[in-house]
Each structure stands twice: as C-alpha cells, then as structure tokens.
Amino acid sequence: MRTVHKPLPHDAARLHVTGEAVYVDDIPLPANTLHLAFGLSTVAHGDILALDLDEVRQAEGVVAVLTASGLPAANDVSPAAHDEPLLAIDKVHFVGQPVFLVAAESHLQARRAAALGRISYRQLPSILSIEDALAADSQLEPPLNYRKGNPEQILGKAPHIVSGRIGIGGQEHFYLEGQVALAVPLEGGDMLIHSSSQHPTEIQHKVAEAIGRPMHAVRTEVRRMGGGFGGKESQGNAPACACAVMAMLTGSACKMRYDRDDDMAITGKRHDAAIRYRAGFDDDGRIQAVEYIQDIRCGWSRDLSLPVADRAMLHADNCYNLPAVSITSTRLRTNTQSATAFRGFGGPQGMLGCERVLDHIAFTLGKDPAEVRKVNFYAPQNTPRPDRTFYDMPVEDCVIDDIIEELMESCGYAERRAEIRAWNRERENLRRGIALSPVKFGISFTLTHLNQAGALVHVYQDGSIHINHGGTEMGQGLFIKVAQVAAEAFGQPMEAVKITATDTGKVPNTSPTAASSGSDLNGMAVKRACDEITGRLVDLLASLHQVKPAEVKFRNGGFEVGGGSYSFGETIKLAYMNRVSLSATGFYATPKVIWDRIAGKGRPFFYFAYGAAVSEVVIDTLTGENRILRADILHDVGKSLNPAIDIGQIEGGYVQGAGWLTTEELVWNADGKLMTHAPSTYKIPACSDRPREFNIRLWEQGRNREHTVYRSKAVGEPPLMLGISAFLALSDAVAACGDGSVYPHLDAPATPERILAAVARQQGVRA
C-alpha cells in the first residue's frame, strides 16, 4: 500500500494554520448582500397574540422583516416529520424559537433590530423536565420496548439485585464555527446555497420546499465546517431556508450566521436522559437479567429524536451478553430546544446506563469492576456459535477481551488500583479513583436506506484526478482518507488527487455525514468509481494489444501488457485519444443490514467498533474539584486508513466525552430559559483539562472482518464513549470516602457540586 494506512496530515492543515482555509462566513460576498437575524420567542409555551414589529422595521439598516404569514412556500425546517416551522405559526414552543426574520445591511444591524420586536403572548403551561413530561404523559410516540427472554421472572429469583437511577445531562455541541448559511440567487429563480452542514442534500431539499421549486433548482455546496459533531445534521436547515427565502424575496444574496448566544438558544443539543435500572446477577457478577427504563428528553419537536432514542436502546448492552433484558424507552416532548444528533446519537446515554449497572454490581459484590465486566463480555470472535444481542444480531466480531487484556497490562491497571487504595488511606482531603470502561458501538445508520453513498471521479488529460463524493468535511479527516483511497486505487501520489467541496450538483441524494459512516460509505463509493475508470483503461489496453483484459496488469500506478508497460499518464492520454470516458460515478450500499425498529429485531449494524479506556482521577472532598490525571486508551479502528487522523479522533473524542460527563452542564431556569447559553457559562474542556498523562494506541491486530474499505473501521463516534471511564473513576474516588456500604449514585455531569454532595452521602450527611 502506498497511500492508505499512512499517517498523512489533514489535507487542509496548512490552510488551517495560515488562516487561508475558507469557511462560509469567509466567502467574499456579492454586492448588496443582506444579513439576517431571527427574533426569538421569550416564553416557553404560548399563543402569539400580537406581533409589533414597527420598531424593527424602522431600525437602522433594516431592509425587510418577515413573519410566518409572509413566507412564499413551505414553512418547515424539520428533517422529516413536518413539525418544525422556520417561523412560528400562532404558537411558540420553547424559549429561543424563531418568530420573525430580519434582513439588514449588516450583521450587527440585523441583530440589533431583531432585539426590538415586541411580541405579546398568552402563556400556556410548559413542560420542561423529564419529570414534568412523565407526569403529563407528554410523548412524541408511544414508549418502545425491546426485550429478550423473561427478565421479570428471572429478577424474581436472582441471587443478587441492584437497582437505581442515573440522571444524564445533555451536551451543547459547541462547534467553534456557529450555524451559518449564504444564499446567492441565480437566474430564473434558482438558488446556490453555501452552508455549514453535514447534510447538503437535506439543505437542498428543505430550501427547495421553502422557495417552492424542485430540488433541481437548488444547489448546495459545503467545502468544510468548523466542527459539526451532529449539530449540523439538521440544525443548518433553518438558516439556509431563511437565507433562501429572503434572497428570493429581495433578489439580494443573504447571509445568516447565528451569534453564539442565539445559536445555543435556538439549536438542539444532546438529549438528556434518566435511566432507571434493575439488574439480577450471580456471585461472580454475571448478569442474569436487566430491566431498563430510558426516559429521553427530546424537546419540542421530533427532529431526529426517535432514531436517537432507538440507538440508546441498542447500546444498553454495550459489550455484555445479557441473557434476559427489557428496555423501555420513552420519547418525552418538552418545551425546550428540540434535542438533536450529537456524536454517538443516543448510544452514549444507553452505554452509560449499562456501565452504571456493571459498576453498581461490582460495588455490591466488592469486586474489581474490571473483573465483573470480563465475565459478562460477549463471546470472542471466531466462536463457533456467536452470542446474539437482545435484538437478535449475532456478535461475530467481538474483540473486547483481547483489547481489555492488552490495555490492563500496558497501563498497569491492577498495580495502580492497589497503589491508589493505599494512597487514599493516607490522605486527608484528596481521593484518587480509577476505572476501566469498554466500548462496543454499532456501525451503520439504523434508518437502513441511509446506508448508501455516491461519488464522482474525473481524470483529466494530464493524469490529475478530481474526486467528489457525498460526504462532508467537518474536521474529522474524511477528505484526506477518501483521497488516500483514490490515490491508492489509481496508484498515484497524493498530489495527483484534488479534493473538492461537497456539491449536490455533482453527487445527488447524499446521506448525512453521520453515524461514523463517512469513510466507510464514501471511501467505498470513490473506490468503485476509480475502479470503474481503471477497468476502462484495462479494457482499452486489452483491445489495443488484442489480449484478454485479465492479461493486463495494473500495479504501482502503471499498466503492463504484452511485455510492454504504460505509465498512468500515458494510458490516460491514450484513453482520451481513443474516446474513452475518463469520468465515472461510483455507488455503494452497505450489505447485510436489515432492521425492524418497532419489533426491535434484525441486523441494524454492519459491524461493531471496539475500544477501551482506563482513567485515573483525583477529587477534593472539601470542594468537589477534580482532575483527570491519566487516561490510557486502546482502540480498534480495523486497519486504519490514516493512523494520525484516527488517533486525533480518539484523543478528541475522549476529551469531548469526558467533558460531557464532568464540566459541561446545561441549566434551564424555571421559565424554560437556557441559562448556559455562551462559553462564559457553559464550560467545555480547556487545554489543561485533558488528562495530564494521555496514552493512546490503535489496536495493532485490528482488521475489519467485514469487507469495508481496505478493512478499516469507523472512528468518528465510538471514542467519545471512552470518556465514560473518567466518570466511573470519579465515582470510584467518591466511593473511597466511605466504608464500602454506600454506592455513590453519581449523576452526570459530575460537577464539583455533584461530587461534593456524593461525598457527603458517603459520610452519612444528607446534602
């Protein structure tokens, strides 16, 4: 292999560090471009009685003001359910909902004007918390239950039982580049949209609806995003549609970028959740049955909540063979931002609930939590009769035993655990804790039809190669990986391959770049397009030499036939002169996946990605302050397409996951207003919050047993869940404050305040 499996830097690295990389907000604007801002709801639930926008219209620089009644066509920005208007119709459903739209000559003028709207409401009762929603039976759809065996009966007879509840906070994406779109009106009412979106086709689709034109009239281009993390899967629809509609009505190009506070007030976040559990197990900690109730707070509209909640259910087993299980999932509708996709897409919540159960079991038996985990793992790969998940998928690729064994050895888990216990006995205020947690994450969209991708590859007469595919670049390194695949397929150096912006005019009907599937899907589609062109070149040379195609050898970027050889460039020239097409599309659809989400049975995933982490922390028992001292990670990315990129995903994923469970706390007040709507109050990890010692390795034996592109595995989401080990280590440190009789029952995020309260419970004090 010449280009795949190599640790090449991100294709745009030099553009990033010099500031030359162009994001939507950096694109030079056509003359008279207008800048947009939304006027937002200030109540959580209410009827709009009157809209007084006179002051808005009269404000300096304002060109146009729109409300729902002035929209030219569809008023909907939802991904599918048609339940989310661009501008509120008669009613508002959360604090921060867009009610009207202002276009002005500058960004600041638009923002200032938008603040001048006077909206009067008849306030209606609002449902904010999980408890509120359960009490009011406010649900997006009836609860879903997946089950296997008869857990109720087994729990009645189990030797040991634990039960509890874990509250799990949401998470703001905090992509550094906020939501932004630019619409440029073209001739005949067509529209060009530059968007910071993980889902250009959906932008195209929603904009077409919003301006009342077919999809062919709209072209979406996405060169790069300044971070996505799931927050730009559906949340870019509103600014893109707003720009398109305003551009259509005014004839001017329109740009909208949310101010950070608006972004946090308007857009959805990771779903917060509460998971109740009851588990029965034997003396070794082997699980006999588990019941979960997963209450998922979805916010006011559907957005992607149903598949998110489904995926939470599908990860309630993590790496463990659960002989009998019942998972009930409620999808609660509340008067808050509509929660949306976020790296892991429900998986992290489900997995944290599962890891809590394992931790609680080990605590109850007084056993090493790592050992209790081991006895519950799915049977390793190559077992004659693989275990089946509760949703009836055989786990044929389980490698977690090997990973755990190697990791525990390399990080000195057992010795450090003993040393920490001794250290804690000598300390007055400080306690350390250590925990291991494994990850098994299902790879594929559970909405099966999304598991497809297209590509377009051109080879020019000079042998240079232009590639395009449906995937988007948000920093995850998709473009470099796919370019490596193309270079490999043609046997050409990386410089020969031009990476180009995602463009719905080049590759249509794309799936979102999500579910960690970007390189699996698009890498394969591009490879097929490349192979198609190579096949034509082979056919040409075969016909020129009057041999069978099988006698033409393609290796190291050149062709050998009939004793002679042709370089790639020579062959390309020859093909052009012989009128052979040097452009091809490629298409890939993931095999094997089939899924019935209502029954909860099938094979939702092509394969699983595995990994494990050991985290060590220290807490201050007088203040609750805490630190991650060390993290060791071993992760399976199959045969890595690009080890440098993959390590970056793992490193960043861990820190983002640990942030979710520690410092990142979303707080809404009693009126439903988000109080943590800026980085001044919402704290993502800063530089010094990363583990002081941070050891990350790719699992060297990794090789995907399924036929993925060069046997690699997806890496986008799985590492986020490695951060669960930091949370469990904090729980371990809290437990070290007591005599072993009181389980910490820590909720997430484990802020200093929650840790201090948990320490107080250990000391027999009710906080």
Partner 1 sequence: MAKIEFTLNGEPVRAEFDPPTRTVLDWLRESRGLTGTKEGCNEGDCGACTITVSYLRGGELRREAVNSCILFLPQLHGKAVRTIEGVRGPGDEIHPVQTEMVRHHGSQCGFCTPGIVMSLVAAHSNGEQRHDDVLAGNLCRCTGYAPIFRAAEQAALVPPPQWMAEEEFPAGNGNARIPEDLDSFAAWYEANPGARLVAGATDVGLWVTKGMQDLPPVCFIGQLLELDFVRRADGWIEIGALVSINRLYRRMRGAHPGFAELLRRFGSVQVRNSATIGGNIANGSPIGDAAPALIALGAELVLRRGGERRQLALENFFIEYGKQDRRDGEFIECIRFPVQPDRLRCYKLSKRFDQDISAVCGCLAIDVSDGLVVRARLAFGGMAGIPMRAAGAEAVLTGSPWNKTSIGAAMQALRDDFVPISDARASAGYRLNVAQNMLLKYFQEDTRPDEPSSVLEI
* Interatomic CA distance for residues 723 and 438, integer angstroms: 10
CB 357 to partner 1: min, Å: 27
* Tokens found for residue 753: 């305040």
CB 622 to partner 1: min, Å: 4
For position 763 contacting partner 1 by CB under 8 A, the verdict is no
User: Residues 397 to 426: which contact partner 1 by CB under 8 A?
Assistant: none
CB 52 to partner 1: min, Å: 19
* From 84, 172, 651, 717, active-site residue: 717
User: Residues 27 to 56: which contact partner 1 by CB under 8 A?
Assistant: 28
DSSP state letter for 390: T
* Interatomic CA distance for residues 78 and 610, integer angstroms: 33
Binding test (CB under 8 A) with partner 1, winner from 149, 227, 394, 505: 227
User: Residues 105 to 134: which contact partner 1 by CB under 8 A?
Assistant: 106, 108, 111-112, 115
Binding test (CB under 8 A) with partner 1, winner from 2, 286, 603, 683: 683
Strand order in the sheet with 180-185: 62-66, 98-104, 34-40, 254-257, 180-185, 191-195, 218-222, 502-503
H/E element holding 308? helix 305-314
**How many chain residues bind partner 1 (CB under 8 A)?**
91
> Do residues 296 and 308 touch, judged by C-beta distance below 8 A?
yes
- If one counts every other C-beta atom within 10 angstroms of the C-beta of residue 597, the result is 19
Q: Which is nearer to partner 1, 457 or 756 (CB)?
A: 756
Give the 3-state secondary structure of residue 312: helix
For position 10 contacting partner 1 by CB under 8 A, the verdict is yes
CB 527 to partner 1: min, Å: 24
3-state secondary structure 104-134: ECCHHHHHHHHCCCEEEEEECCCCCCHHHHH
For tokens 């006895």, name the residue: 375
For position 476 contacting partner 1 by CB under 8 A, the verdict is yes
| Residue 717 annotated in active site | yes
* Tokens found for residue 238: 């509103």
For position 23 contacting partner 1 by CB under 8 A, the verdict is yes
| Interface region with partner 1, contact rule CB under 8 A, candidates 12-20, 273-281, 330-338, 605-613 | 12-20
Strands (E) across 67-106 are located at 91-92, 98-104
Binding test (CB under 8 A) with partner 1, winner from 690, 697, 711, 745: 690
Strand order in the sheet with 430-443: 430-443, 607-620, 626-635, 693-698
Q: Which is nearer to partner 1, 85 or 226 (CB)?
A: 226
User: Residues 715 to 754: which contact partner 1 by CB under 8 A?
Assistant: 751-753
> Do residues 602 and 594 touch, judged by C-beta distance below 8 A?
yes
Binding test (CB under 8 A) with partner 1, winner from 225, 352, 357, 746: 225
DSSP state letter for 28: P
* Interatomic CA distance for residues 217 and 213, integer angstroms: 6
Helix 568-577 and helix 524-545, axial crossing angle in degrees, nearest 10? 70
Binding test (CB under 8 A) with partner 1, winner from 427, 553, 592, 707: 427
User: Residues 506 to 565: which contact partner 1 by CB under 8 A?
Assistant: none
x/- map, 353-392, partner 1, by CB under 8 A: ----------------------------------------
For tokens 């779903």, name the residue: 271
For position 58 contacting partner 1 by CB under 8 A, the verdict is no
User: Residues 560 to 579: which contact partner 1 by CB under 8 A?
Assistant: none
Q: Which is nearer to partner 1, 608 or 654 (CB)?
A: 654
For position 97 contacting partner 1 by CB under 8 A, the verdict is no
Q: Which is nearer to partner 1, 98 or 350 (CB)?
A: 98
For position 757 contacting partner 1 by CB under 8 A, the verdict is yes
CB 681 to partner 1: min, Å: 5
> Do residues 100 and 54 touch, judged by C-beta distance below 8 A?
no
Q: Which is nearer to partner 1, 152 or 693 (CB)?
A: 693
Q: Which is nearer to partner 1, 310 or 665 (CB)?
A: 665
CB 651 to partner 1: min, Å: 4
Going from the C-alpha of 326 to that of each of 137, 167, 219, 291, 624, the distances in angstroms are: 21, 19, 46, 5, 35
* Interatomic CA distance for residues 234 and 60, integer angstroms: 32
User: Residues 255 to 314: which contact partner 1 by CB under 8 A?
Assistant: 257, 259-261
* Interatomic CA distance for residues 59 and 61, integer angstroms: 6
CB 378 to partner 1: min, Å: 29
3-state helix, strand, coil in the chain (%, to 5): 35, 25, 40
CB 590 to partner 1: min, Å: 26
* Tokens found for residue 198: 């993980």
Distance of CA 238 to the CA centre of its chain: 19
* Interatomic CA distance for residues 400 and 612, integer angstroms: 8
DSSP state letter for 547: S
* Interatomic CA distance for residues 67 and 280, integer angstroms: 56
Q: Which is nearer to partner 1, 260 or 388 (CB)?
A: 260
Binding test (CB under 8 A) with partner 1, winner from 223, 373, 440, 627: 627
For position 445 contacting partner 1 by CB under 8 A, the verdict is no
Give the 3-state secondary structure of residue 45: coil
Binding test (CB under 8 A) with partner 1, winner from 94, 100, 121, 229: 229
Binding test (CB under 8 A) with partner 1, winner from 5, 16, 545, 603: 16
Binding test (CB under 8 A) with partner 1, winner from 430, 439, 584, 746: 430
Going from the C-alpha of 542 to that of each of 323, 460, 532, 533, the distances in angstroms are: 58, 21, 15, 14
For tokens 């929650």, name the residue: 754
Q: Which is nearer to partner 1, 557 or 716 (CB)?
A: 716
CB 653 to partner 1: min, Å: 8
- If one counts every other C-beta atom within 10 angstroms of the C-beta of residue 667, the result is 12
| Interface region with partner 1, contact rule CB under 8 A, candidates 39-47, 199-207, 214-222, 687-695 | 687-695
Q: Which is nearer to partner 1, 336 or 451 (CB)?
A: 336
CB 373 to partner 1: min, Å: 25
For position 224 contacting partner 1 by CB under 8 A, the verdict is yes
Strand order in the sheet with 46-52: 91-92, 46-52, 118-123
Q: Which is nearer to partner 1, 428 or 739 (CB)?
A: 428
Torsion angle of the four alpha carbons 34, 37, 39, 42, in this order, in degrees rounded to the nearest 10: -170
For position 441 contacting partner 1 by CB under 8 A, the verdict is no
* Interatomic CA distance for residues 310 and 315, integer angstroms: 9
* Interatomic CA distance for residues 2 and 555, integer angstroms: 11
User: Residues 592 to 611: which contact partner 1 by CB under 8 A?
Assistant: none
User: Residues 151 to 180: which contact partner 1 by CB under 8 A?
Assistant: 173-178
| Interface region with partner 1, contact rule CB under 8 A, candidates 408-416, 548-556, 567-575, 650-658 | 650-658
List of long-range contacts for 25-28, beta carbons under 8 Å, 24+ apart: 25/177, 25/180, 25/255, 25/257, 27/182, 27/194
Decide the pairing of beta strands 191-195 and 626-635: unpaired
CB 630 to partner 1: min, Å: 11
Binding test (CB under 8 A) with partner 1, winner from 665, 706, 732, 747: 665
CB 693 to partner 1: min, Å: 10
* Tokens found for residue 621: 């028992």
Binding test (CB under 8 A) with partner 1, winner from 61, 70, 535, 685: 685
Q: Which is nearer to partner 1, 571 or 621 (CB)?
A: 621
Binding test (CB under 8 A) with partner 1, winner from 468, 626, 712, 731: 626
For position 477 contacting partner 1 by CB under 8 A, the verdict is yes
Active-site residue set? 717
